[in-house]
Structure 1
Amino acid sequence: MTQQQGTLYWRPGCGFCARLRQGLREADIHLREVNIWEDLDAAEIVRGFANGNETVPTVVIGDRGLVNPSVKAVRKALDQADERSDR
């Protein structure tokens, strides 16, 4: 299991969220998951990365936000964050 720093913001009933969550599990990438319908601060964070919209899934890694990313894009962002932290 790969434990990574990052947060996946999602909401129930979101097909894109379900697909990304499943893809991340299959890729052995484990992010903290936050339901934006249960956490108003999380919804505000998502709006900050999604031009004022509550577009999910949104993945935040460090100060970078990825709106509706692919598993490949999440892995790349995590790798880049790891490279920066190794410096």
Structure 2
Amino acid sequence: MMRAWFLPLLLVLAGSLAATGSALRGSPGLGVVLLLLCVLLGGVHSPLAFPRSVGALEAQRRSAVDGRPVVFWRAGCSYCLRLRMRLGRDSRQVHWVDIWRDPAGAEVVRAANDGNETVPTVLVAGRPHVNPAPEWVRAQITSAPR
């Protein structure tokens, strides 16, 4: 669980150090800008930027009922972040599984990717798709039976 927060905390710490250094050199405005930028980047790369995760077994059960895709992701993954941002509000229509919090989810991803934890891996109708285009995932959401 802590490794999901490592990058965001590192970004905030780096921003704090850069802001302090700028303030001590007589540029407090630059320090505030650097700190805000690092806090923003930390927030984007944190688990807070994603809808609430569920366990892999629960996500697969829900997907079998409602036909919606299951997205396996992890914090700090730029491809996962790209998918999340490009889906926008539609991201709430898929079931998200954080593989760093759910060992069963990590196992599903390793089974689909020859032992590698390559994310995002999207499960649609029981078939895994590795790093699909966000437009394709959106099409799967809209074609899911309601």
Q: Which structure's residues are more often strand, by fraction?
A: 1
1:40 and 2:103 aligned:
yes
Range that drifts further, 36-45 or 56-65: 56-65
Runs of 4+ in 1 over 2 A off after TM superposition: 75-79
TM-score by length of 2: 0.48
Q: Which structure's residues are more often helix, by fraction?
A: 2
Identical-residue share of aligned pairs (%):
41
1:53 aligned counterpart, secondary structure: coil
TM-score by length of 1: 0.76
Which runs of no fewer than 5 residues in structure 2 stay unpaired? 1-65
For 2:121 and 2:112, the matched residues in 1 are separated by: 8
Higher Cα Rg, which structure:
2
Q: What root-mean-square deviation, in Å, do the aligned CA atoms of Structure 1 and Structure 2 show?
A: 2.1
User: Larger relative contact order (C-alpha < 8 A, sep ≥ 6)?
Assistant: 1
Which runs of no fewer than 5 residues in structure 1 stay unpaired? none
Contact 2:122 2:128 in 1 (8 A): yes
How many residues align structurally?
78
